[in-house]
Amino acid sequence: MFYKQLKAFPEGFLWGASTSAYQVEGAYKEDGKGLSVQDLHEPKDIADFKVASDHYHHMKEDVKLMAEMGMKAYRFSIAWTRILPDGDGEVNEKGIQFYNELIDELVSYGIEPVVTMYHFDLPLKLHEKGGWCSRNTIDAFVKYAKILFETYGDRVKYWLTINEQNVMINHPNAMNPGRIPTKKELYQQCHNMFVAAAKATILCHEMVSNGKIGPAPNITAIYPEKCNPADVIAADNWESIRCWLYLDVAVHGRYNSIAWVYMEEKGYTPVIEDGDMEIIAKAKPDFIGVNYYATATVSEARNDGTDCQPRNGDQQVMIGEEGVYRAAKNNYLEETQFGWLIDSIGMRVTLRRIYDRYHLPMLITENGLGAKDKLTEDGCVHDPYRIDYLKRHFHQAQLAISDGVELIGYCNVFSGTADDIKERINNGLIDIALLSVPVEISNFEFIRMKEKDRWGIVMPIHDPLASKEVITQEDLIGKKIIGSSRKLVKEEIENWFGDTYDKLDEVATINLFHNAITMIEEGLGYGITLESLITANNRNVCFRPFSPVLETGSVLVWKKHQNFSTATAKFIEMLKHAFKV
């Protein structure tokens, strides 16, 4: 729709920035803070979460910079383990003091504090006792919430219960060190989080005068690849499972019908205790936090064993699910240097869809662009590409307001202070600390492995092939091979593998992270990889080398727009040798 004149951003609009505690604070063991699951990530030669942006030691400088930028709001998370080191025990007064000082500093500059109560950093002690699979974690979260409301409720008006609950369920690897939960366990975690968030919402309304509270999921409009009605069904499926499930429960107090039927079909339905749904229905959020980065495009499921196409990625990467949807490419959209899609119009689409379903005010709690920024001789980062990105998204936000959407603020993902911005790869958008091996930050084109590393096959620890010391080509005939970069080298592999390619069913390359590992754990296929990628991740899988044993040094990681012929050639030569082709 074209407008003669766009509506203005409303008075008091919360222009701001967004961070999470574990990604900016550092000081991971200082002043009584306990360990969270995020503190277990220990990459080599790159920034981790132990120091991060060192916000803990530079808080006042950071807030002053925010004020100089003209920010009206700062959305940040409180580290659960800085308040309750073991998640459910004695209060750490130094942690209480830090956030008191941060909130006071913000208020002194006229910056509205927007507090996220839980942002991926579950206390390690609670994780070791079952984490969100345990009902005890619900009680621990309610105790923690009560402390926050009692301590900070006189100055904090806006509260967010749980950040990106849908990401924690659909992309669980980074939140579950060690064994990755089954889908059945994940949806039980999901239900327990719903109950915990509902109890916190009710508590906030009881304890915080004029307090506003809501969820903060990662919501994205899902497009059908074509006007084929079957593609539309696939888009409806995934949008319900990925998005509406989380907001229907939070806002309407009931499970989304399509998502519930999906869980029934797959055997994922959670145990719902007496009184749970009444508590959830009683909790009424005041607004919705929306983390938006891009849309997704899907196509009709085939249900032939190929709907799920695993690849390296994160919450913005759609991989497909058997019998539900297939991931598809949207040729109308640009990509960032790190492979994330750019869809500013999709923000307007997403905001309109959310508002039409729930009719609640919305706060954009995350949005932003990751890029390979360079510090120039004048001491500045000149980033017209980011300015263009934000201008386009701001315009679409204003169009959404003109469409009738009640948008109350816009928080862009923001980096802290410190000299490690290069390591953090711009504003925390790329969580490189989650990678298991060192990365060359300057160009992000290769991963350095051990001096000597072995190529081989990764499989579930109880797989029959795990009893073998080495794997031969004959062992893999008829087996499904999965991984993360198959599409990039598919044609070359087909060319030289010939008949063997068909016998193997599918061939992929390295970097078996995220959902690929989960699929392997569930016995859905085997992966070609390097030993260090498995041992460093401590997954519930095992590695067996090729016969003959093949050792290598560095391995290149190629990007879509990069000339990767050298990397592909090296990879092919290694596999030729390993398989005696």
- Residue 433 CA to residue 44 CA, distance in Å, equals 9
Angle between helices 135-152 and 93-108 (to 10 degrees): 50
Q: How far is CA 291 from CA 255, 367, 520, in A?
A: 21, 6, 30
Cα 259 to its chain centre, rounded Å, is 20
Per-residue tokens: 521: 């754990």
Is 366 among the catalytic positions?
A: yes
Per residue in 361-393, is it b (16+ CB within 10 Å) or e — as a string?
bbbbbbbbbbbebeeeeeeeeeeeebeebbeeb
**C-alpha torsion sign, points 264, 249, 80, 312:** positive
DSSP 500: H
DSSP 237-297: HHHIIIIIHHHIIIIISS--HHHHHHHHHHT-PPP--TTHHHHHHH---S-EEEE-S--EE
Task: Report how far residue 519's alpha carbon sits from residue 527's, in angstroms, rounded to the nearest whole number.
Answer: 10
Catalytic residue among 25, 105, 112, 164: 164
- DSSP helix/strand/coil, 441: coil
AA identity, residue 108: S
Rg (CA), the chain: 24
Contact 205, 151 (CB under 8 A): no
Between the alpha carbon of residue 58 and those of residues 27, 180, 190, the distances in Å are: 11, 35, 35
Return the H-helix or E-strand segment holding 77: strand 73-77
**Closest residue by Cα to residue 262 from 192, 325, 193:** 325
Count of all residues that appear for the chain in the document: 581
Catalytic residue list contains 451: no
**Chain centroid offset of residue 477 CA:** 35
Question: For tokens 């990039």, what's the residue?
Answer: 488
CA 126 from centroid of its chain's CA atoms: 21
Measured distance CA(516)–CA(510) in Å, rounded: 10
Q: Are 317 and 288 in contact (CB under 8 A)?
A: no
Of the candidates 112, 185, 239, 366, the residue annotated as catalytic is 366
- Give the bridge partners for 529, in sequence order: 456
Which two tokens mark 570?
């090296």
Q: How far is it, in rounded angstroms, from Cα 75 to Cα 524?
A: 40
Nearest Cα to Cα of residue 219 among 312, 310, 127, 349: 349
- Cβ burial of 62 (10 Å; 0-12, 13-18, 19+) is buried
User: What is the C-alpha to C-alpha distance for residues 563 and 251, in angstroms, rounded to an integer?
Assistant: 48
Any bridge partners for residue 164, and if so which?
Answer: none
Active site residues: 164, 366
